[in-house]
Amino acid sequence: MPLFAPTALFRRVTYITPEYLRAHGIRALILDVDNTLTAHGSQELPPEVEAWLGQMRAAGVRLVIASNNMPRRVAPFAKRVGLDYQAFCCKPSPFGLRRARRSMGVPRGAVALVGDQIFTDSLGANLYGIPMLMVEPMAEDIKPTIRLKRMLEKPILARYDKKGGPRYGWDAEQNENAERTGK
């Protein structure tokens, strides 16, 4: 299921390091908001995410927010975080991602998407042809539609683990398990 699979799994955005990005030729990140940078619908910026954004900026990584949500949800958060944003991105459509990528003025080959959902973020990144750095959702999903999607994501992530897809930020034991099942 290569259209749905993420490129790499991270426990939190904070496990995405400048070293990882450099090693993979990634110079810019398109960032999902809900359950990636903050809890769904929240305007709060967790301190560790703020620190991570600072670390990315210091490393010269270009950043832009791309959300399927409405401007009235995205704009105040983007302003607070100090980032440009694209709302109504209609992921998995690649067009919103192209808009976001162009706003940073970087070629497609230097961009990755960071998000928490298979059927919007991961599919969108794969359709657009950029790496998908998938994070665990920050908070438990309340919306029934997203809970259903989480159930449908499970077999795709199980296959990802079976193939030995990389995981960053889980403890050593889990990493070993992921590696074992991949062999």
Residues of the shown chain interacting with Mg ion in the complex, contacts defined by CB under 5 A: 32, 34-35, 116
Q: Which residues contact 166 (CB under 8 A, 6 or more apart)?
A: 8, 9
- Of 16, 13, 7, 30, which is closest to residue 101 (Cα–Cα)? 30
Number of H helices and number of E strands within the chain?
7, 7
Closer residue to Mg ion (CB): 169 or 176: 169
Bin 12: left if φ > 0, else alpha if -120 < ψ < 50, else beta.
beta
| DSSP helix/strand/coil, 43 | coil
Min CB(166)–Mg ion separation in Å: 21
Closer residue to Mg ion (CB): 32 or 153: 32
Min CB(16)–Mg ion separation in Å: 15
What Rg do the C-alpha atoms of the chain give, in angstroms? 15
Min CB(91)–Mg ion separation in Å: 9
Tokens 């080959």 map to which residue?
109
Q: Which residue is nearest to Mg ion (CB)?
A: 34
Closer residue to Mg ion (CB): 104 or 137: 137
Min CB(60)–Mg ion separation in Å: 25
Q: Count how many residues are written for the chain.
A: 183
Closer residue to Mg ion (CB): 116 or 153: 116
